[in-house]
Structure 1
Amino acid sequence: MNDCLNSYEKLQKYKIESMDLKINIIAALVAAGRASEVQSTMKAQKTDLTTRALRDARSFELAYNSACTLIEIKKYSEAKEQLDLAKRIGKEELMVEDYAEDEIEYELAPVSAQLAYVQQLQGQTQEAMETYANMTNKKSGDPSSLAVATTNLISLKGTKDVADGLRKLDRLVEKSTAPNQPQLIESLEFKLSLRQKEALYSARVLLLLHANKIDQAHELVSGLLGMFRDSIFPVLLQAAVHVREKKVQKAEEVLSRYAEKHPENSKGALLALAQIAANTNHFQIAADSLSKIPDIQHMPATVATLVALKERLNDPNGASSVLDSAIKWWKNAMTEDNKLGVFMREAATFKLNHGRDEEACQLYEELVKSSGSTEALAGLVATSARTDLEKAEQYEKKLKPLPGLKGINAESLEKTSGARHVDQAMKVEVPEEVKKQKAKKRKRKPKYPKSFDPANPGPPPDPERWLPKRERSSYRPKRKDKRAQVRGAQGAVTREKHDPSAANAGGASSKASHATTSAKAPEQPKASSKSRKKKSRS
């Protein structure tokens, strides 16, 4: 990309007046991450990129590229205006060329995707999701626009429809010949930028983690570490996988190793390390990680987090030094939104709570001199009362008296025994209009069931509908049929016919059974002669 920019810079020296050249220069600067230089570069070429000038120029590509520049520098409202302008110009040009509605929608898919992205950044998530879903369902767009829409839609849905999100991303990834090396489909491999590829792969890893497919996530992350060696995003994904596996120590080691190896690009790793350490009660590691990021030490969120971590570590001196350094930074800062007063009040409160009355008193004095607010003066009086009573009385005279307290004598109040409980409430005269308003009760409209017309309610319901059927007045029990059930002709007698074959069969079977029983029965032994003799004797 740098070589491309160098080529365009050489062409600028020849002072070539070409709209296409300007459009390509803007695109190259945005792709190279130098969007902040677009305005100055275009001013040098006497090109106005305001919405009014672009409306007069009627260049679809110039308006679109200018909007992308505004997105990079976080001017989302102006970017949305220019994207709407680009879409309108593009639609008019395509309609002149007799394009159908589907073809126009296909050609303007990049603009629609960027508009949805701006809505997403502005917090209009529902509108952005509708645009993304419409693009992916209709497949109305080139592969790169559809890939961006799919990735952004998955990021907005979060943990919803994990399986559907994985199926959609599987269509964008193909199996690579090299092991552990992910690869996009051919139509996306050379069209998506590096940031877009990182977002797509990150969404896939996170979906795999939500689907509890840890092995596949490990495999994908190992491939990404080989593809993007100097990038931080695969390191963050690797730490996320370790945290999901409850291997927090490994995650901390991975992030700290990257921060030491790449100090110029360690901000994201240190922030992630601080978050993981704070969630696992490793407060010292979290505090050390935040302290290593110099450009955020003065920010309110960082200061508040560091103070809370130092308090957890029982280090009030460290917390006080964090507040003092933040106050020093804001004193020297030349910004419109100065936070010096906020930090001084919070620091005074902190020091007052930790027994540093003199330091708190000094901070309140500075606040009174700089702003003269009543809150600071009241805080100074309350703080000075602990250290220097005379100073407290001097500043107390500067406080404005409260309304309604002129006739109250403080000394007489101290001598009284205190307030007494009054049984009967004081009678207060209430005007009649107020009484009537209180007497009126709000009538709520009755809730009717569906498909019920109160004007034509129909017949009234049965009042006995809640009673059992036997207790209702309309209940009639069923009568029993007392008629004799006669089968056949009246007076006829039926006789069973004698079947000789059946009898023979029965006889044969009885004989057979008798034979078998007799055959199976054991033979009784004959009585011996001795037993006979015994019987005869008896």
Structure 2
Amino acid sequence: MTTSSKSLPALLAQTSLDDHEEILKAANAAIKKSKADIDAHHAKAVALLKLDRYDDAVKIFTDTPQLQERTPFEYAYALYKSGEASQAVEVAQRDSSSRAMKHVLAQAAYRSENFEQAAAVYRQLSSDRHADEEADIKINWSAVDAQLEWSGKGHLAQTKKAGRDDLQAFETAYNTACGCISRDELQQAEICLKRAKEDLCNAAEDLTEEEKKVEIMPMTVQEVYVLTRLGRIEEAEQLSTTIPFAEIRELSTRYIAQINSIAASTKHTNPYLSQRLMHSAPKPPKTDRPFTFQSDILRQDEYVIDLMTHKVAGVISHTSKLISSSPAPTTSPSINTASVFNAAAQAQNLSEKAALKAILPLLEKRPNDIGLLLTITQLYVLTHNLAAATQLLESFFKRLEQSGSASDLDIRHAPGLIAVLVSLYVRQGRHSHSKSGLAKAASYWRRKSETAPRSLMVAAGSALLETHNADSIAMAGEIFESLHERDRADRAAIAGLVAAYAVADPAKIAPDLVDVLPPVERLVSGIDVSALENAGVPGLPLSSAAAAVPTKRPAPGGGRQEEGAPVKKTKRIRKARMPKDFMPGRSMDPERWLPMRDRTYYRPKGKKGKKKMDGLTQGGAVAEDRAAGTVGGQKKGGGKKKGKGGKW
């Protein structure tokens, strides 16, 4: 064994083998002589990695456990490149002291969608600067930031805005564009994508034209998506026609490009043709699978096409399996979206009221299905039954509170569900309920976690400020103070903190907080006060001194008119409403629509007319003969004449 173990290193030292195939042959020859030769197995594994035969390299490590302990870096790298990112993370975590292993750990954590861990590792690598790695770390870290935004953890991202340095290279510009898309900053994303293309075409001198063509393809696919989201369908369709789908090497990108081309097309009105185009692209391998948020959207697209092609039974079957695979209730987007499509398939394109009758029995079987619950809530809103929608959510929240489970309480105070209930309260004018609901959710998350949902906390703090209650304002101050401690540059937190302290305790307002906020002069600099007043916005009342000296302004007719006097606008009367004897310039009788006897200038003629007029006048004298014998507008029985021959 000793002789054979030394023979391969001696052989490789004495030769100049640049071909990894030759090294692989030499390693195989050494292994044939001695299967226990660890050096030969190591050389074979490295040669296979160099030849991009990652599955074969993993098999070498699996068959040789001693090699796993001896070369953990190569083993972790082989697992990562073969698509086993989760196992690669486990191996890399055992010994991540070396810088090379940290790079593998960060990449494997990114691919296994553990973006928090990836960001932490890149933070460690960035603290220990290496000039030759600085550009790569910056590119990879910007990709992690974009994924954090997409996964709902944007508060952990390193950068929130695109800086000049981010647009210097096409890789960082592209990742910055992805981050803008995740934050719905679509116009900024379009600018970054165009800048990335320019940098790629002009600055990347070390790339060949073929390599540039390969790199520019994902940017074009992303640009089609951005244009579609912006509603510029014709531009998106035109750009999509320039993409050679067959030349896209990454199968996941090719598949997404074809889906986007269908969405951006104005010609494919035939759903069966769209379904054929959707499934024409080959499915990507496990090493190139889309991320979870991408695969969820792609699955939704398939459900939509299936419903349009009347494959209702297939949608019901597939979504039912997906729903049953997860315990309810859950806030998983994929599960809840599957519930929505399941309900849509059950309703089979019925009207709102008919769909409610078809879906409500499902709620008895799945009372904690959030996707189904929100679908029924939306149908209630569409049928203008806000009370039923509110009662449905309130009863669901009550069940979660009574369960006492920690996971159920988290779902009870989930920001999305709170937002739905609060919006229902607001539409019904129940503002006190909306404010108390926001305050309750904010209080729960403050006790539960330091990283409470920012959007919920800002909404709750703003609602509490509107109550003008001392305790509520104090609570709002605590909420905004916690947000300010989390992010010192958060302007919403600073503004809320200043507003709360201005009422509760002005002495706590630090000058640096006020300096961060924009001055009032800059906020109102672009406001035209005269235009607002002319549009009907009421202004402040003039002081007594100013009101005593009215200013003059030109009147519409060329004369002079006082500033404070209202301008009389002449109404244009339709020709059909004008009397036959109408003369232009002559003012019309404002009481012309009243009966003649009700007009103020009516004077009856003759004694009978005057007497009748006195009786009709409200508040006038009432004749005795008219008052006698009436009760409540009806005559007494004694006033009736006795009929001839009547009996008593």
State TM-score, norm by structure 1: 0.49
Name which one, 1 or 2, has greater alpha-carbon Rg.
Answer: 1
Larger relative contact order (Cα-Cα within 8 Å, sequence gap ≥ 6): 1
